Amino acid sequence: MFQKSKKLGILGGGQLGKMIALAAGNWHFPIKFLDKKSDFPTARYAAEFVEGNFKNYDDVLAFGRTCDVISIEIEHVNTEALLQLEKEGKTIHPAPEKLILIKDKGLQKQFYADNNLPTSAFQLLDNEEIVKKEIANGNLSFPFVQKTRGEGYDGKGVAVIKSEDDLRKLLSGPCLIEELVDIEKEIAVIVARNEMGEVVSYPVVEMEFNPVANLVEFLICPSDITEEQAEVSDKLARAVIEKLDLCGLLAVELFLTKKGEILINEVAPRPHNSGHHTIDSCFTSQFEQHIRAVMNLPLGSTKMKIPSVMVNLLGADGFTGEAFYDGFESCLNVEGVNLHLYGKTVTKPFRKMGHATIVDKDLEEAKRKGKFVKDNLIIKTK
């Protein structure tokens, strides 16, 4: 059947692409990927892999013309080419205009405000000089958070400004200024929607931070919040995908504030780090769900089979070069530990090289095992 099915093309061939390719492999599904080099994580597992730059107009256009449906595993793709492909009759999920809105943190934030979706107070400013002027004029006061409107990723386009002294950390260019939220917990909900208008949502997950490094240490499913808070989060995530009128997967990052409010932080219209655990702990993985959603297939059950803890496996500090996985075998010995290594050839300090999902009915036990994996699986050079 799938030989005759429409062909799906994905822009991007990193770890998210690899996990989409593995899910597609279960169905022998016709799928192809576009990314720079055929030693990227996806290439080995993709039915087809095309070398090219997803930021380049001509590369995206040529690639898209060989597909029926086009989707992404990263937002920062050439949207002009996608708009042209849309004109030529291709199905594109998420739609290019939605991608343009989401890629710009300012437009995204304005969308929440226009649709009465709860988010922190904000203003949009043209550059860092204007930020300083607004402070001098008394229109802006410390503390606040500054985010670049373009390509931020993993906190790199975010500055927390608490005092005059922090002004040297100001990022240049057009920016979004947000109120500094008093965060109790950072949580996320992944939702999916198809052209038939079906919507499904995964259980709420929670990020647990390492208090010393201030980095996400564990991603826990289900989150330890009240039933009511979980319901509000779920409703919000569904409202965002409906109001965006978006097809595909949408990861909705939320803040639970100290006062008990739930605010939308930002969204990503693709599989997301906060959904990696679904491979091992839910009925349908987020990667299979993405394929189902963009191909307008029936959506899969999002029910949790077993609680889980997900740990990102980062390159050890001080090592750059060909990756070597020290402690791999001792981790394989631990019941419930599922290792997912992305196969990136080069490790760098704190680069995401893989993740481990630990499934266990007892979340405390899962965390203990997660800590064991973190301490024992060291990604370095030989």
Q: Does 154 help bind ligand ADP (rule: CB under 6 A)?
A: yes
Q: Which of the ranges 80-88, 166-174, 177-185, 324-332 carries the binding residues for ligand ADP, by CB under 6 A?
A: 177-185
Residues 6+ apart with CB under 8 A from 226: none
Q: Does 265 help bind ligand ADP (rule: CB under 6 A)?
A: yes
Three-state DSSP at 199 gives strand
Q: Does 302 help bind ligand ADP (rule: CB under 6 A)?
A: no
Q: Does 155 help bind ligand ADP (rule: CB under 6 A)?
A: yes
Residue whose tokens read 């599904």: 29
Q: Does 134 help bind ligand ADP (rule: CB under 6 A)?
A: no
Closest by alpha carbon to 217, among 309, 343, 334, 337?
309
Q: Shortest Cβ distance from residue 5 to ligand ADP (Å)?
A: 34
Residues 6+ apart with CB under 8 A from 297: 194, 291
Residue 377 CA to residue 368 CA, distance in Å, equals 14
Binding mask 236-255 for ligand ADP (x = CB under 6 A): -----------------x--
DSSP class per residue in 205-251: EEEEE-TTT-SEEEEEES-SS-HHHHHHHHHHHHHHHHHHT--EEEE
Q: Cβ closer to ligand ADP: 156 or 303?
A: 156
Q: Does 186 help bind ligand ADP (rule: CB under 6 A)?
A: yes
Q: Which of the ranges 33-41, 64-72, 174-182, 279-287 carries the binding residues for ligand ADP, by CB under 6 A?
A: 174-182
Q: Shortest Cβ distance from residue 184 to ligand ADP (Å)?
A: 11
Residue whose tokens read 């939220």: 181
Given a contact cutoff of 8 angstroms between Cβ atoms, the answer to whether 123 and 140 are in contact is yes
Q: Cβ closer to ligand ADP: 206 or 360?
A: 206
Q: Does 309 help bind ligand ADP (rule: CB under 6 A)?
A: no
Q: Does 118 help bind ligand ADP (rule: CB under 6 A)?
A: no
Q: Cβ closer to ligand ADP: 39 or 154?
A: 154
Q: Which residue has the closest beta carbon to ligand ADP?
A: 181
Both tokens of 354, joined, read 């893989």
Q: Cβ closer to ligand ADP: 22 or 183?
A: 183
Q: Cβ closer to ligand ADP: 181 or 299?
A: 181
Q: Shortest Cβ distance from residue 13 to ligand ADP (Å)?
A: 21
**Binding test (CB under 6 A) with ligand ADP, winner from 178, 206, 217, 288:** 178
How many helical (H) and strand (E) elements, i.e. helices and strands, does the chain have? 11, 22
What is the helix (H) or strand (E) element at residue 19, kind and residue range? Answer: helix 15-27
How buried is residue 202: exposed, middle or buried, by Cβ count under 10 Å (0-12/13-18/19+)?
Answer: buried
Closest by alpha carbon to 268, among 289, 252, 290?
252
Q: Does 153 help bind ligand ADP (rule: CB under 6 A)?
A: yes
Given a contact cutoff of 8 angstroms between Cβ atoms, the answer to whether 318 and 349 are in contact is yes
Q: Does 312 help bind ligand ADP (rule: CB under 6 A)?
A: no
**Binding test (CB under 6 A) with ligand ADP, winner from 20, 60, 145, 311:** 145
DSSP class per residue in 115-138: TT--B--EEEESSHHHHHHHHHTT
Q: Shortest Cβ distance from residue 144 to ligand ADP (Å)?
A: 8
Given a contact cutoff of 8 angstroms between Cβ atoms, the answer to whether 54 and 42 are in contact is no
Q: Does 107 help bind ligand ADP (rule: CB under 6 A)?
A: no
- The one-letter amino acid at 153: Y
Q: Does 176 help bind ligand ADP (rule: CB under 6 A)?
A: no
**Binding test (CB under 6 A) with ligand ADP, winner from 266, 306, 343, 350:** 266
Q: Shortest Cβ distance from residue 136 to ligand ADP (Å)?
A: 22
Positions touching ligand ADP (CB under 6 A) are 120, 145, 147, 152-158, 178, 180-181, 183, 186, 253, 265-266
